[in-house]
Structure 1
Amino acid sequence: MASFEDFKQQFKGDIVTQHDPTYQQALDRWAANSRRDAAVVAFVKDAEDVALAIKYARAAGLRIAIRGGGHSAAGASSSEGGLVIDLSRYLNNARVDPDKKLIYVEGGAPWKAVDHAAIKHGLAGVGGTVNHTGVGGLTVGGGYGWLSGSHGLVIDNTVQLTVVTADGSILTANETENSDLFWGVRGGGSNFGVVTEFVFKLHTQRAKVFAGPVMFSPDKCEQIAAFLDNWWPKAKPEEGMIVVMLRGPDGTPLILTFIFYNGSEEEGLKAYKELLDIGPFVNQAAEVPYEELNNMTASNPLAEWGANYYYKGVPLPQKPSDDLNPKKFNEILKHTSSPDHVFGVLLEFLPHNKINSVPADAAPFRRDLSGNTLILIQWKDDTPEKSLKAKEMAHAIASLLPTGEGYGNYTPESDALPTARAVTADKTKALFREHYPKLQAIKKKYDPDMVFNQWYTIIPA
């Protein structure tokens, strides 16, 4: 491809540069601090557009980022001075085949599109817990959701992918066709290409579920932990809970539990009776339409679009009270007194028996975790000082919690972007462990020049 003009002529979608009035809008991201001033934003209309954008970027020496939902707090969907392949404007639909219980989802769709399309047929797929998260990034990183207890990870329910690779090839990847690529993308992140379509299994789903936020004052900490210690080892596939240590808007410490039961209100009240008997000061758990489930968490102030965010993921402890106890909560509070920052320590209790029953070599994703903890710091009006303070807070909290590589989609920025090759390789090896050599071989085959390098970059073999 000789020139930018040639690229523009062949490209069917929209190309936005710094000279266009919609440029700032084209850089919009969930985490405002993950915005980067791209040289070119290419809003693709199809896989052929993606191939053209890759070829142009490589010829022009522009670093490529892929934007699906734009939800990466680490900035993986942005590229300073590079080219962004943005799937969100045109490739954002979901189409259901109710007879085969499959859903065909374009690479720029948010989970809201999946939830709403599937439930019309009495079906649902495993999806994220926040419905404005993009399907693409969450899936290629593994993908946990409220239905994981029953149906596993998103990657365990992925049956086919359409992937545009570094040389511009448009490939179908499934168990029988380009099966190595299919294996690598399901957990190996954005290392191998741009996924323009996902095909997921759907499952029969009741129209309403029992869910909602239940809030407690911190003096109930020990009682909540005792409930969790008893409940968690035998939690049913239909159940799930996220427990958050945080401060309220006025700085008052509190414990928020978001409870889920894939059943009726009667069943849900029975499942969580011992928790509710502790005496919350707010209880909004109720029977809600399934498609509203992930909207409830999406409208939480800690998930607000356009604020600044810093993430750090660590493993969930084997015993909930190891992390949720008055002593540790008080230590966390000492590190989170900044008036400019809001924090949440989210303990995700999504039953893992189904997830961990999948053979370890089925995909490059860990099958030995009991769950994930997310340290989330949010702030407004970004400055270098506030950004540094957020990182310091997150790492101080992490020092109080279990050590080890957390969920890859919860990576902080410093872990995601490639620096020295040795450092990148160390971080990536820690995430992928025994799967790393196989991923290196797949990387060498499909992306030997490391064109895709925005998330736990795999060094080709």
Structure 2
Amino acid sequence: MITSTRPQQVLLEPLAVDVFATTLRGELIPPGDPSYEQHRRVWNGSIDRHPGLIARCAGIADVRSAIRFAREQGLLVAVRGGGHSFPGYSVCDGGMVIDLSLMKGIRVDPEARTARVQAGALLGELDRETQEFGLAVTTGIVTHTGVAGLTLGGGLGWLQRKHGLMIDNLLSVDVVTADGEFVTASQSRNADLFWGLRGGGGNFGIATEFEFRLHPVGPDIFAGPVFWAMEDAPEVLRFYRDWIADCPDELMTIVVQRRAPDLPVIPRDLVGRHMIAVVACHVGTVNDGERVMRPLKSFGRPLLDLCQPKPYLVHQSMFDPSYPHGWWYYVRACDVAELTNDVIDIMAEHGRRIVSPISSIGLWQMGGAVARVRDEDTAFNGRGAGFTFNINGNSYTADGFDAEREWARDYWSALAPYHSSVYVNFLMDEGKGRVREAYGPAKYDRLTTLKRRYDPDNVFRLNQNIPPAP
């Protein structure tokens, strides 16, 4: 558990702070400022940290100035894009938060089918701009997630089986390094850094702008969840395993186990009931989507079927009510090679044990375009995984949080014989060994060498940290 902490005393020379403030086009927020409480808070309500300064940067010059000041003053640096990291790495105690949330510029080139996106943009903001032209890039499943953090860790999302991960559609990244230098990384410029940024997280600098390749998507797709009672989970999962065995790349699914949420679309007699759902997103034609989904929609005894034609933007935001700011979130994650009968039995057993109305698991279908990129082409690991587990033990407040964490850990431990790798964006603060596991020994060693070149002092260590090679 990430416990609440008291503010650490930061002894800064007032004149130095004043001089630094004059260099910013954005704003500098110290403790005591009327907006300090608002800007120190992050998405995960279990994180309660008090930085010594928050530099809300309005552009690259601000970012460079903030890095120089933090290094001169010996301050721990946290970098905030969307503030959505599970372990709360986008805020720190006593140091400086370099907050990019003012940097929201998005420019779509519909003819070239590309988009340039600043690091403070959120997924929903990017989707809104690209869909105006009938285009999209893979983004995640909660619209208030930050583009930067999701991309740098790999970027799973509804389009991944058809169009690949976010990093597979990344053309270039602008980065401010630990010494304040501005560099651009792409296949043709600083290619080694570009390799590391595609999965290596924020270890090598502060990404300030991304360029993505876009694809025609929508505006209408066939998508949504189909729900069954949790007691039907073994039969549903066995059918699901067979159904997706030869499914087209246009289909992406996430299996969800949870208690039915209290939402307007859920009938009152189902709210709170233990359910298993297959949430589907078919990004081909609506007619093809209806045809592909027909066997699932007619299997067994569905309690609720919300899988239907809808705008892509509507589907992209469907999980937002389940992951709002301020709830207490804890996650354990792992990849598995296949959905064996033993894994299905574990899922059925632990799904029945869910207590909190907001705890859940998401089983992400992998494969398709994700698996067709050569593993050695990016730092991201796990392209051969069959499925990725995201086990969320959540509570509204501190009440009940310990019990939900234990449920998540027990579920994860039961799956231990089947773990293959882990998606780095789904890690909590789990130690060096788990970070190494997320990349595998060969990639991890290459990343430590890259870290030594771009951040030898490990300035950017408040992340799933890759220390510089000795």
TM-score (norm: length of structure 2): 0.90
**Cα distance change, pair 164–40 in 1 and its aligned pair in 2 (3 A):** same
Aligned partner of 2:434 in structure 1 is 427
**Cα distance change, pair 392–208 in 1 and its aligned pair in 2 (3 A):** same
The match for 1:355 among 331, 348, 370 is: 370
Q: CA deviation digits over 1:406-460, x for unaligned, max 9?
A: 21111123x1xxxxxxx52x23221111111221111111100000012221121
Does residue 35 of structure 2 align to residue 28 of structure 1? no
d(CA) in 2 for partners of 1:9, 1:19: 19
Q: CA deviation digits over 1:297-328, x for unaligned, max 9?
A: 223x2x12221100111114502654334x64
Aligned partner of 1:260 in structure 2 is 281
Aligned partner of 1:372 in structure 2 is 388
1:342 alignment partner, SS class:
coil
The match for 2:73 among 30, 39, 60 is: 60
1:25 alignment partner, SS class:
helix
Instruction: Determine if contact 2:230/2:351 at 8 Å carries over to the other structure.
Output: no
Cα distance, 1:222 vs structure 2: 3.0
Does residue 219 of structure 2 align to residue 207 of structure 1? yes
2:141 alignment partner, SS class:
coil
Instruction: Determine if contact 2:225/2:305 at 8 Å carries over to the other structure.
Output: yes
Instruction: Determine if contact 1:159/1:199 at 8 Å carries over to the other structure.
Output: yes
d(CA) in 2 for partners of 1:264, 1:364: 33
d(CA) in 1 for partners of 2:347, 2:103: 45
- Could you tell me which runs of 5 or more consecutive residues in structure 2 were left unpaired when the two chains were aligned: 1-12, 262-270
**Cα distance change, pair 18–312 in 1 and its aligned pair in 2 (3 A):** same
- Number of aligned positions between the proteins: 442
Aligned partner of 2:333 in structure 1 is 313
Cα distance, 1:213 vs structure 2: 2.1
Instruction: Determine if contact 2:393/2:401 at 8 Å carries over to the other structure.
Output: no
Deviates more, 1:450-459 or 1:399-408: 399-408
**Matching residue's letter, 1:9:** T
Cα distance, 1:176 vs structure 2: 1.5
Does residue 286 of structure 2 align to residue 273 of structure 1? no
TM-score (norm: length of structure 1): 0.91
Cα distance, 1:7 vs structure 2: 0.7
Cα distance, 1:130 vs structure 2: 1.6
Cα distance, 1:271 vs structure 2: 1.0
The match for 1:10 among 23, 40, 58 is: 23
**Cα distance change, pair 151–331 in 1 and its aligned pair in 2 (3 A):** closer
Instruction: Determine if contact 1:64/1:452 at 8 Å carries over to the other structure.
Output: yes
**Matching residue's letter, 1:187:** G
Deviates more, 1:256-265 or 1:130-139: 256-265
The match for 2:91 among 78, 94, 100 is: 78
**Cα distance change, pair 370–446 in 1 and its aligned pair in 2 (3 A):** same
d(CA) in 2 for partners of 1:75, 1:156: 26
**Matching residue's letter, 1:349:** Q
Matches within 5 A, 1:287-366: 287-299=309-321, 301=322, 303-319=323-339, 321-325=341-345, 328-334=347-353, 336-337=354-355, 342-350=358-366, 352-366=367-381
Matches within 5 A, 1:245-256: 245-248=257-260, 251-256=272-277
1:233 alignment partner, SS class:
coil
**Cα distance change, pair 218–390 in 1 and its aligned pair in 2 (3 A):** closer
Q: What value does the CA root-mean-square deviation take over the aligned residues? A: 1.9
1:361 alignment partner, SS class:
helix
Cα distance, 1:93 vs structure 2: 2.5
1:293 alignment partner, SS class:
helix
Q: CA deviation digits over 1:112-148, x for unaligned, max 9?
A: 1111111111211111122111100100000111111
The match for 2:449 among 441, 453, 458 is: 441
Does residue 464 of structure 2 align to residue 459 of structure 1? no
1:189 alignment partner, SS class:
coil
- Could you tell me which runs of 5 or more consecutive residues in structure 1 were left unpaired when the two chains were aligned: 416-422
d(CA) in 1 for partners of 2:85, 2:380: 19
d(CA) in 2 for partners of 1:313, 1:391: 12
d(CA) in 2 for partners of 1:254, 1:387: 21
Does residue 251 of structure 2 align to residue 243 of structure 1? no
Deviates more, 1:241-250 or 1:50-59: 241-250
d(CA) in 2 for partners of 1:332, 1:286: 26
1:399 alignment partner, SS class:
helix
Q: CA deviation digits over 1:150-205, x for unaligned, max 9?
A: 11111111001010110011111111212211111110001011111000000122
d(CA) in 1 for partners of 2:342, 2:29: 50
d(CA) in 2 for partners of 1:388, 1:222: 28
1:129 alignment partner, SS class:
coil
d(CA) in 1 for partners of 2:364, 2:185: 31
Deviates more, 1:393-402 or 1:316-325: 316-325
Q: CA deviation digits over 1:38-79, x for unaligned, max 9?
A: 111111011111111111111222111111111111111111
Q: CA deviation digits over 1:366-407, x for unaligned, max 9?
A: 222122110001112226xx4433332211111122334421
1:187 alignment partner, SS class:
coil
d(CA) in 2 for partners of 1:158, 1:46: 21
d(CA) in 1 for partners of 2:136, 2:350: 40
Aligned partner of 1:191 in structure 2 is 203
1:137 alignment partner, SS class:
helix
The match for 2:411 among 397, 400, 405 is: 397
Aligned partner of 1:419 in structure 2 is none
d(CA) in 2 for partners of 1:54, 1:445: 17
